[in-house]
Amino acid sequence: MSQISGAVIGITVILVAVFLPLSFFAGATGNIYRQFSLVMAVSIAFSGFFALTLTPALCATMLKPIPKGHAHDKKTGFFGPFFNWFNRHFGRATRGYERGMVRVMRRSWLMMAVYAAIIAVVALLFMRLPTAFLPTEDQGNVIVNVQLPPGATQERTLNVMKEVEAYMMEQPEVDNIVSIIGFNFSGTGQNMALAFATLKDWGVRTKPEESAMSLAGRATGALQSIRDAFVIVITPPAIPELGTGSGFVFRLLDRNAMGHEALVAARGQLLGTAAQSPILVGVRPEGVEDAPQWEIEIDRDAAAAQNVSVAAISNTLGTALGSAYVTDFPNQGYMQRVTVQADADKRMTPESVLALKVPNNQGQLVPLSTMVSAKWVSGPMQLKRYNGYPSMSITGEPAPGYSTGDAMAEMERIAGTLPAGFGYEWTGISLDEKKAGASSAILYAFSILAVFLCLAALYESWTIPLSVILVVPLGVLGTLFGVWIRAMPNDVYFQIGLITVIGLSAKNAILIVEFAKDLQAQGMSVLQASLAAARLRFRPILMTSLAFIMGVVPLYIASGASSASQREIGTGVFWGMTVGTTLSVMMVPVFFLLVRTMFRSREQRAHDRELAAGEEITPADQAPKEVMIP
């Protein structure tokens, strides 16, 4: 324990410190970070505590003493032959690794050139990686949004919904469907409808073309053949309450009071340009469209001459066209409500409405046509404001092969071509995506700074932590490579996986740097200390890293509910640890050698010159088998 306790404490502190900054972020992104970071930090703290207390006790209790005359490297029992074979080959690999490190450390500045190339590749991959907020998840259902032309009757809407239901139930993925008439995400009215299609269990839908996303795209294309309605099938948002579906939510604003007609024209121009873009698909307005309206103008002089109040005219029209509650009456033990309304034939045409009669102040009935004039006009059925400006909501999705970040950038470019006076804002899930992208650089900086400061406190040095921090780009390279080959975006779950890799990469570096520092304190030169530490920690680094890599394989190949987020985290960590571990065992000793050489004191330089006078780098097969560290 005296040899490893310092490294265990350092690793525990670093892994806790790298996750804690995530818990201080606000908003929807902060909620995702907070749940993950606090669980990881507490779990790692308990793991470190048990590693320093319970594990040594268990080892002393469970490990059997080696009998006299028995070879230390020979295993017995059922698995003995396998362990002996593994140990022989791993020993050969370790000796080959050290001989390779001898050649590498003799060319340390060449390795730094390779390291500079790695940083350049990391920067290039970061710039080329598409951005997003959350992956689109298969949640086992899709939503069908139906909108008929303004003024369409309930009967027409019902006929359209029957066609929609018939098509959806013919799809092999669909298990059931529930429809609602009179409402959808755009508003309310007889021309609005909404349907929720529940899909079969994920275990039955094993093919990619049976996913909710595939069904939504296929059904949207097929239902466009319904000429009487605009039908679009969408998947629910990855997190409830963050919008009504996947994709982006865009607000077009009239910032200079150009008027409703100018706003409608600008929206039409934007939609027309978006329809021609290969990056966008399904760009559509949200809301109730302008519709014909029957405008009634009251002649107040004529009404006053006949002793009819404006309130009486309003009540008559409201009661006849809408309805009005009058009273309740008992009927066979039940209270029944009385509601009055004009018969259908008395409110179907403008002529029948004008034939209604209004009571005056003396209780006499006066024809409505003698006090009002009416005409047909076209006007908005719904008015929206956003941040105080008249606005219109537009939603859409990225085309296959593009991310929501690409789609949002394209919408911003198109909005820049609109006439002066019109602006835009992002809302819903798109606003959270913008905030998350702006805070990602701060997130990475805080995590790396936390690692550096904790290492500086542990080692009471500013130079030793630098040799640990230099390992971070190696793990980042693997994470970027993994998500790039699997065509995944830079989103919240990618960032969580990347922060995990930063902590684990620092863990591998600490295992080498801690031992190299102690060996140098014993009197070894920095060169021999780096080489000896690399040989001593080669097996622990590979075994712990391999255990972690195998642990995330289920996430890497996940399927079913929430599989998209699991695959993103698993992919980033799997490739980050694989590439990072492979490169770190080669480059961390070089980092320690160069950092300690560049920042050593005068006394250390004199001491190293004395040791280097007759120093020769000795491979592992000729070096001492054990190096004791007090």
Give the pLDDT confidence of 14-43 residue by residue, as tens digits: 888 888 877 777 777 778 888 888 888 888
pLDDT surpassing 90 at residue 118: yes
Residue 601's pLDDT band (cuts 50, 70, 90): low
Sign of the Cα pseudo-torsion (372, 378, 382, 388, in order): negative
pLDDT surpassing 60 at residue 179: yes
Average pLDDT over every residue of 320-326: 89
Average pLDDT over every residue of 619-628: 42
Residues 6+ apart with CB under 8 A from 340: 319, 323, 324, 326
Give the pLDDT confidence of 149-168 residue by residue, as tens digits: 888 888 999 999 999 999 99
- CA 287 to CA 303: how far, in whole Å? 37
Average pLDDT over every residue of 426-449: 79
pLDDT surpassing 50 at residue 504: yes
Please state the domain extents for the chain.
Answer: 5-59+112-134+433-612, 141-290+383-432, 293-378
What pLDDT is recorded for position 77?
A: 56
What pLDDT is recorded for position 629?
A: 35
Look at residues 23, 15, 2, 8 and name the one whose alpha carbon lies nearest to residue 443. 23
Give the pLDDT confidence of 276-318 residue by residue, as tens digits: 999 998 888 888 888 888 889 999 999 999 999 999 999 999 9
Give the pLDDT confidence of 353-388 residue by residue, as tens digits: 888 999 999 889 999 989 998 888 888 878 888 988
Q: Of all helices (H) and strands (E), which one includes residue 611?
A: helix 602-612
CATH topology of domain 5-59+112-134+433-612: Multidrug efflux transporter AcrB transmembrane fold (1.20.1640)
What pLDDT is recorded for position 604?
A: 57
Range name among 319-323, 345-349, 599-603 with the lowest pLDDT average? 599-603
DSSP letters spanning 591-608: HHHHHHHHS--HHHHHHH
- CA 322 to CA 315: how far, in whole Å? 10
429 or 425: which carries more pLDDT confidence? Answer: 425
Give the phi and the psi of residue 330 in degrees, each rounded to 5. Answer: -75, 140
What pLDDT is recorded for position 570?
A: 93
Global pTM? 0.77
Residue 49's pLDDT band (cuts 50, 70, 90): confident
- CA 157 to CA 153: how far, in whole Å? 7
Residue 620's pLDDT band (cuts 50, 70, 90): very low
Classify strands 422-426 and 280-286 as parallel, antiparallel or unpaired.
unpaired
| AA identity, residue 263 | L
pLDDT surpassing 50 at residue 626: no
pLDDT surpassing 70 at residue 625: no
Is 453 in contact with 506 (CB distance < 8 Å)?
no
8-state DSSP, 80: H
- CA 473 to CA 540: how far, in whole Å? 22
Give the phi and the psi of residue 233 in degrees, each rounded to 5. Answer: -110, 125
Compute CA distances 539 → 335, 621, 627, whole Å: 83, 16, 15
CATH of domain 293-378: 3.30.2090.10
Q: Which CATH architecture fits 141-290+383-432? A: 2-Layer Sandwich (3.30)
What pLDDT is recorded for position 184?
A: 86
Structure tokens at 438: 């702006």
Q: Are 5-59+112-134+433-612 and 293-378 equal in CATH topology?
A: no
- CA 67 to CA 62: how far, in whole Å? 15
Compute CA distances 277 → 129, 220, 401, 408, whole Å: 20, 18, 13, 12
